[in-house]
Amino acid sequence: LVVSLFPLGMTPESELLRTLAPGVIWVAALLATLLSLDRMFRSDFEDGALEQMLLAPHPVTVLVLAKVLAHWLVTGLPLLVVAPLLGVLLALPGQALGPLLVGAIGVALTVGLRKGGALLSLVVLPLYVPVLIFAASAVDAAAAGLPVIGHFYVLGALLVLALTLAPLAAAAALRISVN
């Protein structure tokens, strides 16, 4: 919705939209995932399922990864499908992805709070900034015909780092939130 309204608030000039498109798409995707993050563990916390998850014989990190994957399939995958269409709308010959693993840490930290959404934004947004910078510049470089492999290496390293550390941090934060 934000991306489709963006050309209406500015000039519909194709060259300007092409220049701004990577940043607009990525910021819109990050804000969309940020809106849905608060619900990742909230219902499990309220109905007691989160405590059962923590008491289960399975490692909590595996359960957190499963929960993140399920949440990504519901929220991130539609963004992934829509991103190329939004790129075409903004005259951009690229696509965008939405990170979610970083958000799991922030959600786990704020799940026990009644109005944790504002705090969640303050915790998660600084962690999204490196992904936003490298992803938007990768799309921008691809649109300009420049090599993007360096950007993808950095994004891949950030993904590996998030896959390794985010479940551990989220599991620890969930244990703290339940107690």
pLDDT digits (tens, 9 = 90+) for 7-36: 667 766 777 777 777 677 777 777 777 777
Task: Return the closest-CA partner of residue 80 out of 29, 24, 4, 142.
Answer: 29
pTM (2 d.p.): 0.59
Q: Are 86 and 4 in contact (CB under 8 A)?
A: yes
Burial code (b: 16+ CB inside 10 Å, e: under 16) for 18-30 equals: bbbbbbbbbbbbb
pLDDT digits (tens, 9 = 90+) for 88-115: 555 544 333 333 344 444 444 444 444 5
* C-alpha to C-alpha distance for 156 and 163, rounded to whole angstroms: 10
Query: Whole-number mean pLDDT of the chain?
Result: 71
**Residue 139 or 57, more confident:** 57
pLDDT digits (tens, 9 = 90+) for 110-126: 444 445 555 666 667 77
Q: Is 159 exposed, middle or buried (CB count within 10 Å of its CB: 0-12, 13-18, 19+)?
A: middle
